[in-house]
Amino acid sequence: MNRRHFIRNTGLGALAAGSTLITSKNAFAKKRIRWKMVTTWPKNFPGLGTGANKLAKMIEQMSDRRIRVKVYGAGELVPAFEIFDAVSRGTAQMGHGASYYWKGKTEAAQFFSAVPFGLTANEMNAWLYYGGGMELWEDLYKDFGLIPTAAGNTDVQMGGWFNKEIKTVADLKGLKMRIPGLGGEVLKRAGGTPVSLPGGEIFTSLQSGAIDATEWVGPYNDLAFGFYKVAKYYYYPGWHEPGTTLECFINQDAFNALPKDLKLIVKTACKAANLDMMAEYTARNNTALQKLINDHQVKLKNFPDDVLIKLKQLSEEVVAEIADKDKKSKKIYQSYMKFRNNAMDWQKVSEQAYLNARSQTHP
């Protein structure tokens, strides 16, 4: 009888202990983590701001709300161009923007957003995910306590809005244009004056004459901002941003504190957001361009060939000079340019050849 009593009590004790372990494990699994995401975009701005919102929602849903992400538009928690520092020091756990905004921190960051006459959106993704670009990006940002991810792409952008026609390279001289990153440096070499402005300040600056021209993204976003009301000419192609990658960077300590499954969820959500944004822009730009032309009588213009040739020459010079800044910059430059040159050889007989053939047969 004593033995039976012992076994019975021992079994119940073991069961209770097991229940405690399971409960503790479940409690850990259901632990709620609250993160803040600061962005460079106006709150809920189509494509860019909503892209950040979608990413936050995906992380919440994929994690069964174990991670809840509150999104702040530009200026709500910190100014647009201060989100890099805010995430680096832990004021927020995530930031959503474009890496060319941080050239003051490290000029090599610009390679991971847009390079004039550089990689297209598909080529950029190929370099990042399968050409060593992601590893180089992570190595560059680790000095700032950040983990970068690709979290969107606008595809080829437009050349911008101008209050005068660009007929020759001389028309770029003295031009005050809102244009960030490497494209701005190229404009400067051509005699223009690049101005860096967050999206929310562009319209009033163009309206007041503080700037003579601006680039932003493309028809979808440009229509939303109403640039057709304050500029006459809409130029293409976007030589300066052929496939602009948007980023989500994460505070390193916050990310490392996550369990393995949540780390994978965050990274996977960023990759999904990256692909989703490009699809959205391809769809939305189609209808927005027709609306700009047909409803608002926008004058669509192609940059003259001699202007593009000169801009490409200056671009090659500007990009090559970054390689001389430091060892990391040189390593990134060499990897990027090697991949671009190889991609160009492939594109000649693949997508470029197909698009040329399609254009010739289009009624």
| Tens digit of each residue's pLDDT (9 = 90 or more) over 119-149 | 999 999 999 999 999 999 999 999 999 999 9
The torsion angles phi and psi of 163, rounded to 5 degrees, stand at -95, 5
Output the six-digit token pair for 201: 């300040």
Low-confidence ranges of the chain (pLDDT < 50): 1, 6-7, 12-25, 27-28
Total Cβ atoms within 10 A of residue 338: 13
Tell which residue, 74, 78, 106, 105, has the closest CA to residue 91. 78
Instruction: Provide the pairing of β-strand 213-214 with 176-178.
Output: parallel
Which pLDDT score, from 0 to 100, does residue 138 have? 98
Going by the DSSP 8-state scheme, the letter that residue 164 receives in this structure is S
Contact 271, 150 (CB under 8 A): yes
Going by the DSSP 8-state scheme, the letter that residue 46 receives in this structure is T
Output the six-digit token pair for 186: 């190229």
User: Which sequence spans correspond to the domains of the chain?
Assistant: 32-153+243-282
Place of tokens 């202007």: 307
Count each helix (H run) and each strand (E run) in the chain, helices first.
13, 11
Q: How far apart are CA 71 and CA 49, in angstroms?
A: 9
Which pLDDT score, from 0 to 100, does residue 21 have? 44
Q: Which helix (DSSP H) or strand (DSSP E) does residue 203 occupy?
A: helix 202-208
Q: Which residues lie across from 161 on neighbouring strands?
A: 214, 234
Which pLDDT score, from 0 to 100, does residue 361 have? 74
Q: Which residues lie across from 101 on neighbouring strands?
A: none
Domain spanning 32-153+243-282, CATH class: alpha beta
| Tens digit of each residue's pLDDT (9 = 90 or more) over 20-47 | 444 444 544 568 999 999 999 999 999 9
User: What's the pTM value of the predicted model, to 2 decimals?
Assistant: 0.89
**Exposure b/e, 115-133, CB count within 10 A at least 16 = b:** bbbbbbbebbbbbbeebbb
